[in-house]
C-alpha cells in the first residue's frame, strides 16, 4: 500500500510539473519541473517512506523497461545492418562533441584559480 501511495505521489508531481510548465510557458519539460518539485519535497521526512517504497518497487522491475527497446531493435534489424556503422559513428562523435562543449562551458564559467601547489608572489 505504501508503494502505491508513493507511485501516486510521483505521478502527481509529474502532472503538477507538466501543468506548471505548460501554464507558465517554461523552457523546460514538465517532468523536469516535477523532478525539481520532488527534490524539494524530499526535504520533508514524512513523504520519504512512501517515495522510497515506490522507488524500490520500480527498481525491482526496471528490466521491463528495456523490453520495448529490444523489440524495436529486433524489428528494425535490417536498418541497423544497413546503417549501423553510420549510426555508431554519429553516436560516438556526438558524445565527444557534447563532452567537449560541456568542458568548454565549464572552463568559461569557473573562475581561474592557480593550482594548489603554487604560492602567491611575495609569499614564503
Give the pLDDT confidence of 105-124 residue by residue, as tens digits: 999 888 777 666 665 665 55
Q: Is residue 116 part of a domain?
A: no
CB 13, CB 37: distance < 8 Å: yes
Shared-domain flag, residues 83 and 34: no
Does the global pTM surpass 0.75?
no
Can you tell me the distance from the alpha carbon of 8 to that of 51, in angstroms, rounded to the nearest whole number? 9
Q: What is the pLDDT of residue 83?
A: 93
Name all contacts of 82-85 with Cβ < 8 Å and 24+ positions apart: none
Is 122 within the bounds of a domain? Answer: no
CB 62 within 8 A of CB 71: no
Domain that holds residue 32: 1-64
Amino acid at each position: 500500500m505504501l508503494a502505491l501511495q508513493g507511485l501516486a505521489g510521483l505521478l502527481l508531481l509529474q502532472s503538477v510539473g507538466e501543468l506548471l510548465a505548460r501554464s507558465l510557458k517554461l523552457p523546460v519539460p514538465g517532468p523536469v519541473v516535477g523532478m525539481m518539485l520532488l527534490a524539494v519535497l524530499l526535504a520533508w521526512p514524512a513523504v520519504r517512506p512512501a517515495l522510497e517504497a515506490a522507488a524500490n518497487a520500480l527498481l525491482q522491475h526496471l528490466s521491463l523497461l528495456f523490453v520495448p527497446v529490444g523489440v524495436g531493435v529486433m524489428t528494425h534489424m535490417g536498418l541497423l545492418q544497413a546503417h549501423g556503422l553510420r549510426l555508431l559513428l554519429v553516436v560516438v562523435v556526438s558524445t565527444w562533441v557534447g563532452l567537449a562543449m560541456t568542458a568548454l562551458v565549464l572552463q568559461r564559467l569557473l573562475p581561474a584559480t592557480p593550482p594548489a601547489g603554487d604560492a602567491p608572489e611575495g609569499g614564503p
